[in-house]
A and B are shown apart, each in its own frame.
Chain A
């Protein structure tokens, strides 16, 4: 595979020979497998082989990029790209890419994912675990993904690296009735400890508890968020932590560096750790990907940067470069001091929400938004689940909710699925005074 590193480097040399100032090329050889299932049966199985080289180059502060998929014409595409740069316009805010050489760790990608045997068995195990909770009338659907990528990066400014990234994910939604469902996910960078039964059991348990839901009532509630829905919420903050989204006013964190933006029990960090489905050794500039504390005990410490945004904010790159804008890799909310049981015991009358979807903002800078809980949603009285509800909506403010987190569990789960774009490590959290609305 060093052949691919050489080919990637040759494109960088080609661009430099044409006169480019800075060039990054990243070749990805991806092999991905998916099984989709619904109504307790496999609908379709898919395999994708994807060969791709991303090239970004600058010339006199003009930034252009391309994706090359046809290697036979790769040099021709680089020539086209350089011509595009010459007729493009300068970006006065462009601050360059990372220089120097870096020592990277060793990839811990799991090669067994590449040659997954009996993938259908993972799906069957998840369905059977759900069926153990819902012996009659179970209807389950979901996806299994297995992903393995070889990545080769060469930068004209020095960084050169090779990485392998692996992940396996199972997502299952189980119905016990048409309006009673639960959802579970299982995600890992390796087959070790990957247990699809865990996701199936959770989905089945929630579906069983969610039976015979009644319409929820509008009002303000103390709400326990399951790790699954916490993952969706953290994903919103992950996006807003990117310096680019701050610059374009798509973030509640604008102009708040050094300020208290969350409850003091909240420490939020970005970590491309080995366990994560977003595991990686370096970012798209070749800077080692490492842990970054975004919020430290309630105080906003930094945005997520590439070299260019870091220059604008007079900061250092945090190793979060995507090819064009910085982005979070894997957001972790630090564990709290509560067990799950203690967290529930803290709620005299409130709600337990397990999942959500369709989060939309009125105004990203202000943070007013709504999102629609789905799957198990429950009334809690004196720490006990007392009934299943439906047809409710969280209609609140992202900053207000961050400030109202009053308890965090020790237990955390790695979350990534169709609705949660950013991988997270999510605990149960208790947020007080959450505004709930419903249709009238």
Chain B
């Protein structure tokens, strides 16, 4: 790891407190990163870097200023504090920004690595990816393009603020991102998969990447050879865990971010169909009473794991949609103060040079009590969309679309032949209101959530059980 000089950080905060500030904080990150890129079995590049720096955020006269640097000197700390202070004072806001009340926290937390990432030599890391590639190629299927990337991110942080919080943390993350293209009789189908874990190199033992990619390869080949377009119409839709996960993230997680609700992201990621004085607010029904969607940063070894957020607030589960009703927004201290509640620990920043903003962690639909067989046996005519390819949602988070990657026809409760690119395009309320069955399993997928300006791609889990939607329009 590179420098993380707590004394410099304390020096910066002390300097800030010599001024007439309402609030000040300093946050340092020290990051070791590796990126290994394998293209068609050969190492394209191995990138290794260390980065460390700190920022100071100051609230003065209801205005916020932020400055960061990667130079660890007292002179630079002075300059950063003076800059943040000057920027805050210059904001000239009519409506003064306030932060919600909180107890100060002192903590030192870390995620353990069973197999320490830095103990695994580069040859072994490359070898592991090469082995996965070889297994994919051993299936006798033409896979003309295979990109396997491994990302390693070991982050040490130190957070202090003017209220007495002092939090040290260490989180190692390992991720694998794969793109494969399968070719058959001149036609190409593609799949992207992401795996993510907070912990050590043991992640690869848990993921079974090779098995997962072999499965994807065979699925894509079958879609090319046997997949038929769907005859459009109303029918049942069974969504696999990957589809449920993306739906929870896009049409529950994002619209429940209080900064969007209050308009702070209006010119970038947009607003929300939920807003003060609008038709949807806390207590409004948005889905069937089977639908409870939770975001919990403390899912053990999850990709979005944390114990304290980047404002020093202790993490806890957030019950977003509860039994089909809008229940709780994601908050940082600024949005919480504005809506008269306490922060629920949702402030996250990707690095020291970014402000902490309202973010998800691990968002999932709570499991029900059905088996997969029970869910399917009651479907007379429908589609089982196990995974998705193209997807998107409007910037109010109400008009969404998911296109199936692995999908099958269901007739009289039996899974039939593959369907090529079945598509659902419907509203958030329509989607969650149509849910009439949920299985008892729970599976997570890793994703990188994009938000913020400058963009902050943050690790998250999306997840859920398998669900059944009735009488939805498919095409």
- Chain B residues within 8 Å of A361, by CB: 390
The verdict on B118 contacting chain A, using a C-beta distance below 8 Å, is: no
- CB of B427 within 8 A of CB of A439, answer yes
The verdict on A342 contacting chain B, using a C-beta distance below 8 Å, is: no
The verdict on B42 contacting chain A, using a C-beta distance below 8 Å, is: yes
- CB of A178 within 8 A of CB of B275, answer yes
- CB of B399 within 8 A of CB of A393, answer yes
The verdict on A105 contacting chain B, using a C-beta distance below 8 Å, is: no
Residue of chain B at shortest CB distance from A359 = B392
- CB of B264 within 8 A of CB of A439, answer no
Given A43-B64, A45-B90, A393-B401, A69 contacting B51 (CB threshold 8 A): yes
Q: Mark A398-434, 1 if CB is under 8 A from B, else 0.
A: 0000000000000000000011000000000000000
B274 to chain A, nearest CB (A): 11
Given A365-B181, A370-B390, A91 contacting B42 (CB threshold 8 A): yes
- CB of B48 within 8 A of CB of A84, answer yes
The verdict on A357 contacting chain B, using a C-beta distance below 8 Å, is: yes
- CB of B263 within 8 A of CB of A372, answer no
Stretch at the interface among B103-111, B265-273, B307-315: B265-273
The verdict on A382 contacting chain B, using a C-beta distance below 8 Å, is: no
Cα(A70)–Cα(B236), bound, Å: 58
The verdict on B355 contacting chain A, using a C-beta distance below 8 Å, is: yes
- CB of A64 within 8 A of CB of B47, answer yes
Max chain B Cβ within 10 angstroms of own Cβ: one of A84, A364, A418: A418
- CB of A88 within 8 A of CB of B188, answer no
Given A38-B264, A51-B71, A172-B267, A440 contacting B393 (CB threshold 8 A): no
Residue of chain A at shortest CB distance from B39 = A248
- Chain B residues within 8 Å of A363, by CB: 188-190, 389
Residue of chain A at shortest CB distance from B65 = A45
The verdict on A39 contacting chain B, using a C-beta distance below 8 Å, is: yes
- Chain B residues within 8 Å of A371, by CB: 392
- Chain B residues within 8 Å of A372, by CB: 392-395, 399
- Chain B residues within 8 Å of A46, by CB: 65-68, 87, 355
- CB of B267 within 8 A of CB of A173, answer yes
Q: State the majority secondary structure of interface residues on A.
A: strand
- CB of A47 within 8 A of CB of B390, answer no
The verdict on B417 contacting chain A, using a C-beta distance below 8 Å, is: no
- CB of A70 within 8 A of CB of B3, answer yes
Cα(A93)–Cα(B42), bound, Å: 9
Chain A 325-368 residues near chain B, CB threshold 8 A: 357-366, 368
- CB of A65 within 8 A of CB of B47, answer yes
Cα(A64)–Cα(B46), bound, Å: 5
- CB of B47 within 8 A of CB of A66, answer yes
- CB of A440 within 8 A of CB of B394, answer no
Determine which of B42, B181, B268, B270 lies in contact with A89 in the assembled complex, contact meaning CB atoms within 8 Å.
B42
- Chain B residues within 8 Å of A69, by CB: 2, 49-53, 70
Chain B 332-390 residues near chain A, CB threshold 8 A: 353, 355, 389-390
The verdict on A302 contacting chain B, using a C-beta distance below 8 Å, is: no
The verdict on A201 contacting chain B, using a C-beta distance below 8 Å, is: no
Chain B 44-82 residues near chain A, CB threshold 8 A: 44-53, 63-72, 76, 79-80
The verdict on B121 contacting chain A, using a C-beta distance below 8 Å, is: yes
- CB of A63 within 8 A of CB of B392, answer no
Stretch at the interface among A137-145, A283-291, A292-300: A137-145
The verdict on A195 contacting chain B, using a C-beta distance below 8 Å, is: no
Determine which of A39, A64, A89 lies in contact with B48 in the assembled complex, contact meaning CB atoms within 8 Å.
A64
- Chain B residues within 8 Å of A63, by CB: 43-46
- CB of A45 within 8 A of CB of B189, answer no
The verdict on A381 contacting chain B, using a C-beta distance below 8 Å, is: no
Interface size on A, residues (CB 8 A): 80
Cα(A87)–Cα(B425), bound, Å: 49
- CB of B46 within 8 A of CB of A365, answer no
- CB of B425 within 8 A of CB of A438, answer yes
Cα(A213)–Cα(B142), bound, Å: 49
Query: In the complex, how many residue pairs between chain A and chain B have their CB atoms under 8 Å apart?
Result: 235
Given A66-B47, A440-B425, A370 contacting B145 (CB threshold 8 A): no
- CB of B126 within 8 A of CB of A50, answer no
Cα(A346)–Cα(B76), bound, Å: 59
Determine which of A44, A90, A368, A374 lies in contact with B64 in the assembled complex, contact meaning CB atoms within 8 Å.
A44
- Chain B residues within 8 Å of A67, by CB: 49, 51
Cα(A47)–Cα(B264), bound, Å: 19
Cα(A49)–Cα(B421), bound, Å: 47
The verdict on A175 contacting chain B, using a C-beta distance below 8 Å, is: yes
- CB of A365 within 8 A of CB of B263, answer no
Cα(A440)–Cα(B400), bound, Å: 10
Determine which of A51, A68, A358, A362 lies in contact with B393 in the assembled complex, contact meaning CB atoms within 8 Å.
A358
The verdict on B214 contacting chain A, using a C-beta distance below 8 Å, is: no
Chain B 152-199 residues near chain A, CB threshold 8 A: 179, 181, 188-190
- CB of B453 within 8 A of CB of A88, answer no
- CB of A141 within 8 A of CB of B267, answer yes
- Chain A residues within 8 Å of B94, by CB: 41
- CB of A70 within 8 A of CB of B2, answer yes
Determine which of A43, A88, A175, A362 lies in contact with B403 in the assembled complex, contact meaning CB atoms within 8 Å.
A362
A78 to chain B, nearest CB (A): 12
- Chain A residues within 8 Å of B391, by CB: 360
Residue of chain B at shortest CB distance from A365 = B188
The verdict on A369 contacting chain B, using a C-beta distance below 8 Å, is: yes
- CB of B43 within 8 A of CB of A66, answer no
Cα(A262)–Cα(B30), bound, Å: 48
- Chain B residues within 8 Å of A141, by CB: 263-264, 266-267
Chain A 87-119 residues near chain B, CB threshold 8 A: 87-93
- CB of B39 within 8 A of CB of A45, answer no
The verdict on A437 contacting chain B, using a C-beta distance below 8 Å, is: yes
Residue of chain B at shortest CB distance from A71 = B71
- CB of A90 within 8 A of CB of B43, answer yes
A186 to chain B, nearest CB (A): 13
Cα(A34)–Cα(B84), bound, Å: 12
The verdict on B122 contacting chain A, using a C-beta distance below 8 Å, is: yes
Q: Mark A125-153, 1 if CB is under 8 A from B, else 0.
A: 00000000000000101110000000000
Residue of chain B at shortest CB distance from A391 = B399
Residue of chain B at shortest CB distance from A357 = B395
The verdict on A155 contacting chain B, using a C-beta distance below 8 Å, is: no
- Chain A residues within 8 Å of B448, by CB: none
Cα(A250)–Cα(B391), bound, Å: 17
Given A41-B95, A369-B390, A418 contacting B188 (CB threshold 8 A): no
Chain B 268-289 residues near chain A, CB threshold 8 A: 268, 270-271, 275, 278
Given A84-B122, A439-B426, A66 contacting B48 (CB threshold 8 A): yes
The verdict on A305 contacting chain B, using a C-beta distance below 8 Å, is: no
The verdict on A6 contacting chain B, using a C-beta distance below 8 Å, is: no
The verdict on B119 contacting chain A, using a C-beta distance below 8 Å, is: no
10 sampled A-B residue pairs with Cβ under 8 A? A39-B263, A67-B49, A89-B130, A91-B43, A141-B263, A143-B268, A249-B190, A365-B190, A393-B401, A439-B425
Query: What would 4 more interface pairs be, CB under 8 Å, given A63-B44, A88-B122?
Result: A372-B393, A393-B401, A418-B453, A439-B426
When A and B form their complex, which 9 residue pairs have the shortest distance between CB atoms, in order from nearest? A45-B87, A173-B267, A358-B392, A67-B49, A141-B266, A249-B145, A440-B473, A362-B390, A44-B64
Query: Measuring CB to CB, which residues of chain A are less than 8 angstroms from any residue of chain B?
Result: 34, 36, 38-39, 41-52, 62-70, 73, 77, 80-81, 84-85, 87-93, 120, 139, 141-143, 171-173, 175, 178-179, 183, 247-250, 324, 357-366, 368-372, 374, 391, 393, 395, 418-419, 437-440
Query: Measuring CB to CB, which residues of chain B are less than 8 angstroms from any residue of chain A?
Result: 2-3, 37, 39, 42-53, 63-72, 76, 79-80, 83-84, 87-88, 90-95, 97, 121-123, 126, 130, 144-145, 147, 179, 181, 188-190, 262-268, 270-271, 275, 278, 353, 355, 389-396, 399-401, 403, 421, 425-427, 430, 453-455, 473
